[in-house]
Structure 1
Amino acid sequence: MFKGLSPILYNGREVWPLVEGGKGVAATNHASAGAWAAAGGIGTVSAVNADSYDAEGKIVPQVYTALTRRERHEELIEFAIEGAVTQVKKAWDIAGGKGAININVLWEMGGAQRILHGVLERTKGLVSGVTCGAGMPYKLSEISASYGVTYLPIVSSGRAFRALWKRAYSKAAEWLSAVVYEDPWLAGGHNGLSNAEDPLKPQDPYPRVKELRDVMREGGIADSVPIVMAGGVWYLRDWSDWIDNPELGQIVFQFGTRPLLTQESPIPEGWKSKLMEIEPGDVLLHRFSPTGFYSSAVRNPFLRSLEARSERQIAYSTEHAGDHTYQLDVGVKGRNFWVTLGDLQRAREWYGLGHTSALKTPDDTLIFVSESEKAMIRKDQADCMGCLSQCAFSSWADSETNSTGRLADPRSFCIQKTLQDIAHGGNTDENLMFAGHGAYNFRKDPFYSNGFVPTVKQLVDRILTGD
C-alpha cells in the first residue's frame, strides 16, 4: 500500500480514493466501471450515448431513421437514456455491492438535462454521483438533488467553481460529494482552457488546486469534501506531497487514460494497440472540436488532415478593397471573391494539387478541399442528429430554431460519427482518438512490458502500490 493512502467515506461506504474517469462515447462502460467498483474504487459509467444491447447481448447500432434533425435529436435522446440505464444496471451487478458507481455526462451534449432526468429516474439507488463538465452545469445540483444523488462538477479553475457555487450549488450544498479539478493541459478529451490561458504554456496544477480549495473554504465547504485531481495522473508516487496535505484538504485521484488499456476496457483492440505506440508529444491539444472547446487527442492521420485542411485557408472580401484586389478564379462559383495576390497564388497551387473546392467558413475565409472531402463534409452536416447543445460543424443548436445562426464550419467534423466509429472497431487512423498527454507512459511503464494488458483489478492493485 502506498504510504499515506487510505480509504475515504463516499456516500456512506468506504472506497479507495481512486476514480475511473468517465470517457465519452462508449469508452467507459458497465464492464470497466463495474470492475473498478468491484476493486474498491469509484467506477464511472459514461452516460454519453452509451450502448444498448439486444436479447442476444449484441450492441444495438444507433441508426437514425427520421428525416429531420429535430426528429433525429429525439431518437438520440431515446438511445442515450436507454443505453445509460442499461450500462448502470450492468455495472451495479458487476460491482457486487463494493465501491461505488458514478455516471458522467457532458453539460454541452444535446438534451443533457432530459437525459439526466431520464437516467436518474430509472436507476434509483444504483448511482452514487453524477460527474459533469464541458460547460457551466448550473442545474446539475438541482437535478441530482431531486433524485437524492450527489453531484461532482468538473472545473479547471477556482474561478469557475466560484461562479457555479454562487449561482446554484450553495443551495444544494449537502449534495456536493466532490469537486473534480480537470487539468486543461494534461487531461484527454475536452477541457476547460479559458481565453486568458495559453494552450502552449502549461501551469503547475498545485497552485490551481490550492486556489480551488481556498474558494471552497470561502463557501464554507469542509476539507473532507474531496477535490478529485484529474489529468496527468499516472503514478501515485508522483503525487505523494498532495496526500494528507493540509493546504489541499482531502484529495482523490482520477485515472482516465490508464484504464483504457485493461481487459475490461470496451475500446477495440486496434485502439489498445495504438496506445502502446504513443510517444511524448503525440497527443495534441487542439481546437477543431465542434463544441468550441479545446480538446486533446492522438495526433493521428485524422487530426493531421484537419490541421492540413485549416492550413489551406485564405481570407476573402466580397468587395474590391484594401489588399483584396485580385478575383479568385479557382474553387468558387461567382466573381465576388476578392483576395490578395499571395493568396490567389496559393489557392491556384492547392487547386492544382486536387483541392478543387473552396468552402466558406464563418470567419470570412475559404478552405480548399478535394471533391470527395467536400462530399463527406456535406453529408455529415446533413446527417446531423443534434448530439451537442451547439455544434459549430453543422450549425445545430438545441433551441427553438435549432440553429446557431452562424454558417456551418467545414474546418470541424461530426464528433458523434467519429467517436461512435472508433469505439466500435473503426479505423484508428481515420477517426478521432482521445487520450491524455501521459499516454506515452504505456511504452515506458514496465507494468505493460511484453504487451501485458491487465485486468481492472490488477491495475487498481498496481496503482495502490504507488506505481
Structure 2
Amino acid sequence: MKAINAVRFGTLELLPLVEGGKGISATNHRSSGAWAASGGIGTVSAVNADSYDADGQPIPQIYHAKTRAGRHEELVAYAIEGAVQQVKRAFDMASEELRAGRGALNINVLWEMGGAQRVLEGVLERTKGLVHGVTCGAGMPYRLSDIAARHGVYYYPIISSARAFRALWKRAYARAAEWMGAVVYEDPWLAGGHNGLSNAEDPRVPQDPYPRVAELRGVMRESGISDDVPIVMAGGVWYLREWEHWIDNPELGAIAFQFGTRPLLTRESPIPDVWKAKLTHLEEGDILLHRFSPTGFYSSAVRNPFLKELEARSGRQIAFSTEEAGDHRFALDVGVPRGKRYFVTRDDLNRARGWAGEGFTEALKTPDNTLIFVTPDKRDEIRRDQADCMGCLSHCQFSAWKDHGDHSTGRLADPRSFCIQKTLQDIAHGADPDANLMFAGHSAHRFATDPFYSNGFVPTVRQLVDRLLTGD
C-alpha cells in the first residue's frame, strides 16, 4: 500500500480524508470535530442541524405557523441556529488542531434545500474564523463561489460529471478560482443520499469512475486549474488499498477521498444505536438506487420496509382519462372520490378492483394523469404530511411547494413521494429505521464482512482514521 501523504486544501496541508456531511443530523459536531482532530476535514451538516437547550439536549424542531410560508421562516431560523451551534461545538472539540492547521472544518449544504442561500449566508456570518470551506451539491450551485469568496472560505462543489463542472466554471466559478478548495466527484451509482444521475445516464449500468474523474481533471486543466487542487472521490470508497492506482497518479493530479458511510458506525456518530445495529446486518444488494425522493433526484438508501412500501405504492398505479377515449372507456368504480368520474381500460379496472379487495381502497391522483391505490390510513398520512409542509426543499414534488414566488410549483402534489424532512428527522432521533428513509452508500453491506467490525466492535473516529491510513 502506498503511503497516504497530505494534500493541499486551500492554504492547509491535510490528510486526504474527508468526512461526508450527512443531513439531517447524521453528521454533527461530535463526529466532525473528531474527524478534524484526526487530521482530515470534518464536515458539519448544515441541513436542519440540531440546536441544544441549556441541558445539552436537542431542541425538537416544532412548527407553529399556520401557513407553509410561515413554517418555512421557522425552518430557516432553526437551520441557521442549529448549524451555528454545531460548528462552534465542533471547533471547540478540535480547537488545538484547527488553530495549528492540522485539521479543518467544512459545512455541508444542499443547494436544493429550502432557503439554501439564506441559510448559508446566515451560518457563515456567525462562524467567521471557524469554517474552512463549504461543500455543496444536490443541484447546480452557481452562486456558491460568490458566497464563499465574500465570506473568505473555500468552496467544494459536488459534481457527478465533467460536463457539470464545466458549466459551473464557465458561468460562475472562474470569477473566484482562488477560493476553490477542491472538487468533489460523487459517484452517482455508488454514493449514498441524493445522486447526480443525468437523463443521459442509465441508473442500471454503473460506469467506472476512473475515466470520469480523468475527464474531470482534463476539464480542470483546460480551465487553468492547478493539479494541486484536489479532486475528492466520493461514493464507493471503503478500503484505500482498492484505490491505490489513483494515489500519486499524474493523470489524476491530487486526489483525496470522502467517507460517508463508514463514519456512521463510530462511537462519535450521532445516529441512534438501533440504526447502527441495522448497518451491521446488511447484505450486498440491500441498497436501492431509487427515484422516490421529493427532490426529483435519484437517491440511494437501504431497501427497508419504508422503501418497499413506496415501491408497492407506485406499483398499484393505473392511467386514467376524465372522458371516454380509446381503450379508456370503463368507468372506475372503486376508490373514486365523490363527484369524480375516471375512465380506465378493462384490465386496469380489474386490477383496481383487486387492489380494493386487498384493502387499498383509496385512489389518489398523481401529476402524470395516473392513480395510485392506498389504504385509508396511508391516504390520511399522505394528506396530513402534505398539509404540514414546512418548505424544506426549494422545489418539492410531494407537496408542490417552492421557496420563492407564489410558493407553488404549479403541479399537482405527488402522492408517490414522501415528506423527506419528517422521515430524516425521525430516524436521526430514535424512530424505527425500518419505518423511515435510511440513506446509505452501496458499500454499506461491507460492515458485515469487514474484520475491523467483528464481534460488534465500534471504533472511535480516530481509530477509523488510523485504520484507513493502513489501506483497510
Tell me the TM-score normalized by structure 2. Answer: 0.98
Q: How many angstroms does 1:335 deviate by?
A: 5.0
| Residue identity in the other structure for 2:314 | S
Match of 1:56 in 2: 55
1:401 partnered with 2:400: no
Structure 1 segment 20-419 matched on structure 2, within 5 A: 20-98=19-97, 99-333=103-337, 334-419=339-424
**RMSD of equivalent CA atoms:** 0.7
Match of 1:459 in 2: 464
Contact 2:293 2:418 in 1 (8 A): yes
**Cα offsets for 1:346-365 (capped at 9, x unmatched):** 00000011111000000000
Q: How many angstroms does 1:11 deviate by?
A: 3.5
**Cα offsets for 1:133-189 (capped at 9, x unmatched):** 000000000001000000000000000000000000000000001000000000000
How many Å separate the matches in 2 of 1:39 and 1:150? 20
How many Å separate the matches in 2 of 1:190 and 1:126? 27
Q: How many angstroms does 1:8 deviate by?
A: 1.7
Q: 4+ residue stretches of structure 1 with deviation over 3 A? A: none
Identity, % of aligned positions: 73
How many Å separate the matches in 2 of 1:389 and 1:159? 23
| Residue identity in the other structure for 1:100 | A
Contact 2:8 2:228 in 1 (8 A): no
| Residue identity in the other structure for 1:449 | S
1:431 to 436, 440, 446: 436
Contact 2:8 2:229 in 1 (8 A): no
Contact 2:34 2:268 in 1 (8 A): yes
Contact 1:327 1:335 in 2 (8 A): no
How many Å separate the matches in 1 of 2:468 and 2:226? 27
**Cα offsets for 1:311-347 (capped at 9, x unmatched):** 0000001111111010000000335201000000000
| Residue identity in the other structure for 2:85 | T
Give 3-state SS (helix, strand or coil) of 1:229's partner: strand
Match of 1:3 in 2: 2
Match of 2:100 in 1: none
Contact 2:271 2:429 in 1 (8 A): yes
How many Å separate the matches in 2 of 1:70 and 1:40? 42
Q: How many angstroms does 1:9 deviate by?
A: 2.6
| Residue identity in the other structure for 2:29 | H
| Residue identity in the other structure for 1:88 | V
Contact 1:180 1:228 in 2 (8 A): yes
Match of 1:450 in 2: 455
Contact 1:106 1:112 in 2 (8 A): yes
Tell me the TM-score normalized by structure 1. Answer: 0.99
Q: How many angstroms does 1:374 deviate by?
A: 0.3
Contact 2:9 2:182 in 1 (8 A): no
Give 3-state SS (helix, strand or coil) of 1:49's partner: coil
